[in-house]
Amino acid sequence: DAGITQSPRHKVTETGTPVTLRCHQTENHRYMYWYRQDPGHGLRLIHYSYGVKDTDKGEVSDGYSVSRSKTEDFLLTLESATSSQTSVYFCAISEVVSGNTIYFGEGSWLTVV
């Protein structure tokens, strides 16, 4: 299994509160991603990073921010959680930008009440 650790694995939070999800990798891969998975949708990209302090938006980035201060850590922050952000969040990593497998973490289940 790829060395990807997500924390927390499960969280229930209230609307309007900030939430940070952490992804830690031990593979030294350059590229890191945050996806969300919802019923009826394939995995959708929130943000990705192509290096330390280098990040860019994905297709569903509204309401989310990210930071990458070290190669191994990629943080996803919901500044003010909403019920529409109830989802399963997956971190992923890859060695190169394309044409190569991306490996996923075990997921973080977030419920916003």
Partner 1 sequence: GENVGLHLPTLSVQEGDNSIINCAYSNSASDYFIWYKQESGKGPQFIIDIRSNMDKRQGQRVTVLLNKTVKHLSLQIAATQPGDSAVYFCAENTSGTYKYIFGTGTRLKVLA
Contacts of 75 (CB under 8 A, 6+ apart): 20, 21, 22, 23, 66, 67, 68
Considering beta carbons, is residue 82 or 111 the nearer one to partner 1?
111
The two structure tokens encoding residue 72 = 């191994």
3 binds partner 1 (CB under 8 A): no
The two structure tokens encoding residue 60 = 């569903």
- Number of residues near partner 1 (by CB under 8 A): 28
The two structure tokens encoding residue 70 = 């070290």
Lay out the site mask for partner 1 across 31-70 (x = CB under 8 A, - = otherwise): x-----xxxxxxxxx--x-x-----x--------------
* H/E element, 69: strand 64-70
**Could you tell me the smallest distance in angstroms from the CB atom of residue 98 to partner 1?**
5
Tell me which residues touch partner 1 (CB under 8 A): 4, 31, 37-45, 48, 50, 56, 88, 90, 97-107, 109
